[in-house]
Structure 1
Amino acid sequence: MTVTGAEAASLVSAIRHRRFLTDEIESAFANEIKIEYRGNYWSVLNCAAYYNRFSILRLLLKNEKLINQRDLDTSLHIAAEQDHSGVVELLLKHEANIEYENNDGETPLLSAVKYENEDIVEILIEEGAYVNARDNFDRTSLHIACEEGFLRIVKLLLHAGAAINWRNASGCTPLFCAADLSRVNVVKLLIQRGADVKIPDNSRNTVLHVCVKRRNKVLIELSLQNGADVNGRNVNGIDIFHLAHVDYEMSDFAKFLVRLILCLNINTPKPEHHNSGGFLGFWDACKSELELMETCKIAESNISYKQLFLESDKSKLAVYLSNADIVSELDALVYKKKFPIYEQYFTENIMKGKSRLRLHYEADEVMNYISPLLPIVVRRKIYDYLSDVDFNNLINAKQHKCDKSQIMYVTGADAASLISEIRHRRFISDEIESAFANEIKIEYRRNYWSVLNCAAYYGNVSILRILLKNEKLIKQTDLDTSLCIAAEKDHCTVVEVLLKHEANIESENSIGDTTLLIAVKCGNENIVKILIDEKANVNAEDLCGNTSLHVACEKGFLGIIKLLLHAGAAINLQNVRGRTPLFCAADFNRVHVVKLLLHRGADVKIRDPFGSTVLHICFQRRNKVLTKLLLQNGADVKSCTNYDENDILDLAYFDFTDFSKFLISLILYLNVNTPISERHNSGDFSRFWDACKSELELMETYKIAESNISYRQLCLESNKSKLAAYLSNADVVSELDALLYKEKFPIYKRYFTENIMKGKSILRLHYEADAVMNRISPLLPIVVRRKIYNYLSDDDLKIFNYFEPVQV
């Protein structure tokens, strides 16, 4: 069965906007109803997975008899695509098929890779997903990751054993895919991990063919350096020299290709079938220059021009250029005359060497400060392991006048390097594992973190999982602190992983907040759900005696408050100041929270150590809305404070203001028979009291437009549907529109105006709903329709009226 229109919209809205689970959602789940929404046909479980609604998913999945395997599997795909890691883990716990294929033949792992959802990829790999599964085009996850250039995912897949040389339907390997789309970093990684550059596609094109066709010089050099065949031909007999058009003209690109091939292997034989004069002449010229380089020494040293030309190690280049005679000859640019074809290669290497040498000299100044007795040879050996970024960190340390320990932090296994690796999700390095094993604390922005703390802070699940595999190194305090950090930063998956490794769910931070209190203070609703499901103590208190409910009420987090109350949070517990959650909500004017707490039975009469009730707070704040709510729910106006023994009416009597008038009119509106105290029976206070009472008694005797409805009924009515029924009488509306009530009842005229507006608003919604109902069920009596409308909120009616019914 498929639902559409208003019913579908209502179900989607309930799931999407995190409402508490309704009977309609449970019914739709039980009856396997499909929801047609924006061109998709979803089950309730699919919809909850799409919108990442933990609470709904958990409740639905508790009823195992109703779980449909296909529904579970489809939901897993949806969650993998949408990057909802917590949902994926939950569905896998309920035995969703990790290898289930969608219409495109994609498993959840393939879908996660396709959308670059790295955390999902990690979870699926850990849960045993087959990394070499293929889609309908014979692509594996590695093919897709390489095509898209997702470097970190490529690393994860290779680490998990992905086949590096498998071919897809077109015969392309992952390396071929990466090269075809110029993914330079991916190509470098694949070659480093042993990818075969010689494997051809179905047309016998190799990676080198693709790189030459794309004119990608960086990838051509990489391919040739790693054994690409320069003479390989495709099915049409085309080799790379054909693609470079060497037989027609020796373009700059053609010259680059020949220069590079001979530079890497001077003994490469001349290719057959390419006999144009320009090509052969340039080939011979390149070979002659390279042979000459071998015999020429620089400035009578033992270093040949060939050595300088071919050297790729920056530190060795720096050593060559530390010789003043060599630098002198190179600065004279003699090499440009001797080797005109390869002069660019010399220039680039000289610049690299000088740049590195300059960094060496600047680093020496810092090292003179740290370890002045360290020999220069040892220093140079240290420098060999440093990148240019590491050098800059070391050099900048001196400018900031750091002490020795701080300088050592920015060199080697230092804070900045570790933070950078963890923060930017790089593959875990030896430095990170070493820092974890040795319990190194990282000083960063005035925090002192362990590696585990840092991974939790940045939500880096991959590093976290790898570190936690070594159980012998895990410290309980480190686990607990990391849990607090993850709860604060709203990292759901990190929290779940730490809890699996027995982090203490009741651990406290330095100010006495439990994990749940931290999550509540930060408004992290999903974390709160997870912790409640894991049986966190919802009534745990901070140093001020505040529970999670106190905090949520103070901040106005309505969704979290509902979760806490549903989990059994004590609604009337007092903190060290004697304040209940209702006090906190009222003090910060959280109207919706106060309404919810009163609906759930919060006690309005509880007093703090000074004898004040919530009503005292609302009176001090002159808050009319909350004052009315409290009085409607039994607040005692005669409750006295300890310090002056004055009740609310005493305060209104001594300071007779407009708010005092509002209070009197409200008290008598709620109970016209409320007696006036003897001590208040004088002056303006008593006169206004009597005036209010007279107006209310007069209302009872006046009927509206000779109907059976008295003005008193209209003034006191709180039911919107009844107000709508009153205003469906044309004579009643006519008299009210004449505004006679404003002259007859000047004190309570505002109550009439508000109720008339409410009634007209709901009546208009009823008429609009009737227009829809006339098309759905034209024979349904108006009385029955009104009965149905009574069960709908204003929002439900608006949704119903907005959507046109679909003809089935």
Structure 2
Amino acid sequence: MSECLKYQKPNKTCMIYAIISHNIDFVTFLMNNYNLKIDLEYCVKYKNLESFLVYFDQTNDINMCFVQSLKHNISSLCEYFLSHGAKINEEYYGMTPLFYAAMYNSKETAEVLISNGANINEKDERGSTPLFYAAANNSKETAEVLISHGANINEKDERGRTALFSAAKYNSKETAEVLISHGANINEKDNFGNTAFYYAVKRKSKEIVKLLISNGANINENYNNGKSALHHASEHNNKEIVEILISNGANINEKDNFGNTALYYAAKQKSKEIVKLLISNGANINENYYNGKSVLHIAIKQNNKEIVEILISNGANINEKDNFGNTDLYYAFKQNNKEIVELFISHGANINEKFKHGKSALHIASENDNKEIVELLISHGANINEKDNFGNTALYYATKHNNKNMVELLISHGANINEKTKYGKSTLYIAAEHNNKEIAELLISHGANINEKDNFGNTALHISASKNSKKTAKVLISNGANINENNNNGKSALHHAAENNSKEMAELLISHGANINEKDNFGNTALYYATKYNNKNMVELLISHGANINEKD
């Protein structure tokens, strides 16, 4: 009381404190002097019958008090309200009184209601009967009363579920036993194709799972998307239920509609103990799933070294390829997981294996700028100058992705700087194409051939001009690039600059002696291409530097 009086004016909180403490004098005081309503739910929760009776005495609200009285499980109180006009089949908040008796396991009260004409199979707005509520709240005694008076055990709600479903979902073992002993259909399916057993597994109701199995539940039943109970238990990391299912004959290698087994889901959810349990009971480690990927791939994708170790130690094929021609080692590189890569190598994985487009592990690690993995591969004998189907080396990918430190590392281990791609492109050409000045300088300092040509006769300077890579072009020119070198079509770097409207490049080339009126094999000058592509600024620049405007092709 003293706590409540700290408030300037007593409020609802004060009334709640008074009910909780069973201080009937204060409850009456607050109700009479401050018009504060007695909260009947708190009266039920804290078993304060006296405050409940004060409420009734003050309000004479028979119907409200009738419903609340059921929660106190006092049959004489129920009889009193019925004798004073309480309506037995009237709905209160969507439910008749019998629902409340079932919910609060008020056996004696339920008997009074039934003997006075309560409708046993009455349904609420969701189609549930009082028996559903008894099952959900494990009100065993009340369930027995309802059944003994004709409650329909296999009645379905709007979702096609019976009372047994409610017992399974809420782990009401004792009530489930009552329902089963009176003929509940164990393998009945709801509108979604699920059984009570499915919900028991999903809710991790271990005792209900055992009970249903002992009474004939089909443990290999397939549910939504073809998943079995074992799939669900594995997916939700429920080891105890997985053990129960396996010990009762669950099909360990059963596949769902996506082709996945329980082992797949256990690995995906990083359920180490379930993975071990499934393997020890015969799960197929090398089963292929979507696109030919194995469970090992799933563990790698989750960066789960422990499960990868378990799988490998139990015979997982580390060199198996998926539908794209990639092994699990490939995916370990893609994840940049050094520890898993080391694990694969220590178990004999082929580090020079070719994957999609002929790429090796070293190509991928270089592309992803993973220095540690590249060093690891090289130390185990990876071919540093290996080419993929396009003639690209690891150095090519490091250069293309502007990974300077990787370029230095590969060069220090003997990467061939002047190696060419399928199209004749050198590494320096790639650096120029991506305007990476620092890598260009690095390559040149290690002996890159500045005037090397691709299959079309283009040099690094040609591509710099096309891409307007001014910074890289300066490096090339300062290191002896031939400004007037022609490609297979007789085009110079200036032709390319004019054609691609690379004004800054054109200025740079002209300032270093580019022949403005040079003609290609078709008799065209740089001015011709600038005009052809409507590059007005380029036209003005070329004319200002002496381009012959009357030149004919």
Instruction: Tell me by how many angstroms 1:434 deviates.
Output: 6.9
Verify: 1:470 aligned to 2:281, yes or no: yes
Residue 426 of structure 1 is matched in structure 2 by 238
Verify: 1:594 aligned to 2:374, yes or no: no
Verify: 1:386 aligned to 2:200, yes or no: no
The whole-number CA distance in structure 2 between the counterparts of 1:533 and 1:588 is 29
Residue 255 of structure 2 is matched in structure 1 by 441
Q: Using a 3 Å threshold, how does the CA distance of structure 1 residues 625 and 414 change in structure 2: closer, same or farther?
A: same
The whole-number CA distance in structure 2 between the counterparts of 1:352 and 1:537 is 69
Instruction: Tell me by how many angstroms 1:311 deviates.
Output: 12
Residue 160 of structure 2 is matched in structure 1 by 363
Give 3-state SS (helix, strand or coil) of 1:456's partner. Answer: helix
Instruction: Tell me by how many angstroms 1:327 deviates.
Output: 2.8
The whole-number CA distance in structure 1 between the counterparts of 2:431 and 2:467 is 15
- 1:79-104 residue CA offsets vs partner (Å, 9 max, x unmatched): xxxxxxxxxxxxxxxxxxxxxxxxxx
Q: Using a 3 Å threshold, how does the CA distance of structure 1 residues 351 and 440 change in structure 2: closer, same or farther?
A: farther
Verify: 1:530 aligned to 2:324, yes or no: no
The whole-number CA distance in structure 2 between the counterparts of 1:604 and 1:508 is 32
Residue 358 of structure 2 is matched in structure 1 by 545
The whole-number CA distance in structure 1 between the counterparts of 2:416 and 2:324 is 29
Residue 527 of structure 2 is matched in structure 1 by none
Give 3-state SS (helix, strand or coil) of 1:362's partner. Answer: coil
Describe how 1:247-286 pairs up with structure 2 within 5 A: none
Give 3-state SS (helix, strand or coil) of 2:358's partner. Answer: coil
Describe how 1:566-645 pairs up with structure 2 within 5 A: 566-643=379-456, 645=457
Residue 451 of structure 1 is matched in structure 2 by 262
Give 3-state SS (helix, strand or coil) of 2:356's partner. Answer: coil
Residue 688 of structure 1 is matched in structure 2 by 512
Judge conservation of contact 1:586–1:594 (CA < 8 Å) in 2: yes
Write the letter of the residue equivalent to 2:259: Y
Q: Using a 3 Å threshold, how does the CA distance of structure 1 residues 654 and 419 change in structure 2: closer, same or farther?
A: closer
- 1:659-697 residue CA offsets vs partner (Å, 9 max, x unmatched): 4651245416xxxxx99889899997586389xxxxxxx
The whole-number CA distance in structure 2 between the counterparts of 1:566 and 1:612 is 28
Give 3-state SS (helix, strand or coil) of 1:441's partner. Answer: coil
- 1:421-455 residue CA offsets vs partner (Å, 9 max, x unmatched): 22332122444677863631023xxx421122222
The whole-number CA distance in structure 2 between the counterparts of 1:654 and 1:391 is 65
Give 3-state SS (helix, strand or coil) of 2:264's partner. Answer: helix
Task: Flag structure 1 segments of 5+ consecutive residues without an equivalent.
Answer: 1-214, 216-250, 257-285, 293-304, 313-320, 332-343, 366-376, 394-406, 669-673, 691-808
Judge conservation of contact 1:628–1:666 (CA < 8 Å) in 2: no
Question: What TM-score does the superposition give when structure 2 sets the normalisation length?
Answer: 0.50
Give 3-state SS (helix, strand or coil) of 2:430's partner. Answer: helix
Describe how 1:222-301 pairs up with structure 2 within 5 A: none
Describe how 1:161-200 pairs up with structure 2 within 5 A: none
Residue 327 of structure 1 is matched in structure 2 by 119
Describe how 1:410-425 pairs up with structure 2 within 5 A: 410=223, 415=227, 417-425=229-237
- 1:134-174 residue CA offsets vs partner (Å, 9 max, x unmatched): xxxxxxxxxxxxxxxxxxxxxxxxxxxxxxxxxxxxxxxxx
Write the letter of the residue equivalent to 1:688: H
Describe how 1:109-124 pairs up with structure 2 within 5 A: none
Judge conservation of contact 2:288–2:295 (CA < 8 Å) in 1: yes
The whole-number CA distance in structure 1 between the counterparts of 2:161 and 2:47 is 44
- 1:269-327 residue CA offsets vs partner (Å, 9 max, x unmatched): xxxxxxxxxxxxxxxxx9999xx9xxxxxxxxxxxx9xx98998xxxxxxxx9999663
Describe how 1:40-189 pairs up with structure 2 within 5 A: none
The whole-number CA distance in structure 2 between the counterparts of 1:681 and 1:426 is 68
Give 3-state SS (helix, strand or coil) of 1:363's partner. Answer: coil
Write the letter of the residue equivalent to 1:440: E
Residue 272 of structure 2 is matched in structure 1 by 461
Instruction: Tell me by how many angstroms 1:382 deviates.
Output: 2.6
Judge conservation of contact 1:664–1:689 (CA < 8 Å) in 2: no
The whole-number CA distance in structure 1 between the counterparts of 2:400 and 2:146 is 67
Instruction: Tell me by how many angstroms 1:605 deviates.
Output: 0.7
Judge conservation of contact 1:574–1:580 (CA < 8 Å) in 2: yes
- 1:339-364 residue CA offsets vs partner (Å, 9 max, x unmatched): xxxxx979986999999977556327
Instruction: Tell me by how many angstroms 1:547 deviates.
Output: 0.8
Give the superposed CA RMSD. 5.3
Instruction: Tell me by how many angstroms 1:419 deviates.
Output: 4.1
Instruction: Tell me by how many angstroms 1:501 deviates.
Output: 1.1
Instruction: Tell me by how many angstroms 1:387 deviates.
Output: 5.9
Q: Greater share of helix residues, 1 or 2? A: 1
Verify: 1:667 aligned to 2:491, yes or no: no
Instruction: Tell me by how many angstroms 1:538 deviates.
Output: 0.8
Judge conservation of contact 2:231–2:265 (CA < 8 Å) in 1: yes
Give 3-state SS (helix, strand or coil) of 2:428's partner. Answer: helix
Residue 492 of structure 1 is matched in structure 2 by 305
Instruction: Tell me by how many angstroms 1:499 deviates.
Output: 1.1
Q: Using a 3 Å threshold, how does the CA distance of structure 1 residues 329 and 596 change in structure 2: closer, same or farther?
A: closer
The whole-number CA distance in structure 2 between the counterparts of 1:380 and 1:389 is 15
Judge conservation of contact 1:360–1:383 (CA < 8 Å) in 2: no
Give 3-state SS (helix, strand or coil) of 2:160's partner. Answer: helix
Residue 131 of structure 2 is matched in structure 1 by none
Residue 327 of structure 2 is matched in structure 1 by 514
The whole-number CA distance in structure 2 between the counterparts of 1:635 and 1:588 is 18
Judge conservation of contact 1:432–1:451 (CA < 8 Å) in 2: no
Residue 56 of structure 1 is matched in structure 2 by none
Instruction: Tell me by how many angstroms 1:595 deviates.
Output: 2.0
The whole-number CA distance in structure 2 between the counterparts of 1:323 and 1:531 is 74
Task: Flag structure 2 segments of 5+ consecutive residues without an equivalent.
Answer: 1-19, 21-43, 50-72, 80-97, 106-112, 124-137, 163-181, 190-194, 204-219, 487-491, 495-506, 515-553
The whole-number CA distance in structure 2 between the counterparts of 1:311 and 1:666 is 91
Judge conservation of contact 1:435–1:451 (CA < 8 Å) in 2: no
**Larger RCO: Structure 1 or Structure 2 (Cα < 8 Å, ≥ 6 residues apart)?**
1
Write the letter of the residue equivalent to 2:254: I
Write the letter of the residue equivalent to 2:119: V
Q: Using a 3 Å threshold, how does the CA distance of structure 1 residues 435 and 587 change in structure 2: closer, same or farther?
A: farther
Q: Using a 3 Å threshold, how does the CA distance of structure 1 residues 660 and 481 change in structure 2: closer, same or farther?
A: closer
Q: Using a 3 Å threshold, how does the CA distance of structure 1 residues 527 and 435 change in structure 2: closer, same or farther?
A: farther
The whole-number CA distance in structure 1 between the counterparts of 2:237 and 2:375 is 36
The whole-number CA distance in structure 1 between the counterparts of 2:160 and 2:454 is 72
Aligned length: 345
Write the letter of the residue equivalent to 1:667: N
The whole-number CA distance in structure 1 between the counterparts of 2:294 and 2:75 is 67
Verify: 1:409 aligned to 2:222, yes or no: yes
Instruction: Tell me by how many angstroms 1:409 deviates.
Output: 3.1
The whole-number CA distance in structure 1 between the counterparts of 2:308 and 2:460 is 48
Judge conservation of contact 1:640–1:648 (CA < 8 Å) in 2: yes
Verify: 1:561 aligned to 2:366, yes or no: no
Q: Using a 3 Å threshold, how does the CA distance of structure 1 residues 614 and 466 change in structure 2: closer, same or farther?
A: same
Judge conservation of contact 2:432–2:472 (CA < 8 Å) in 1: no
Describe how 1:206-217 pairs up with structure 2 within 5 A: none
The whole-number CA distance in structure 1 between the counterparts of 2:142 and 2:472 is 86
The whole-number CA distance in structure 1 between the counterparts of 2:187 and 2:235 is 26
Residue 52 of structure 2 is matched in structure 1 by none
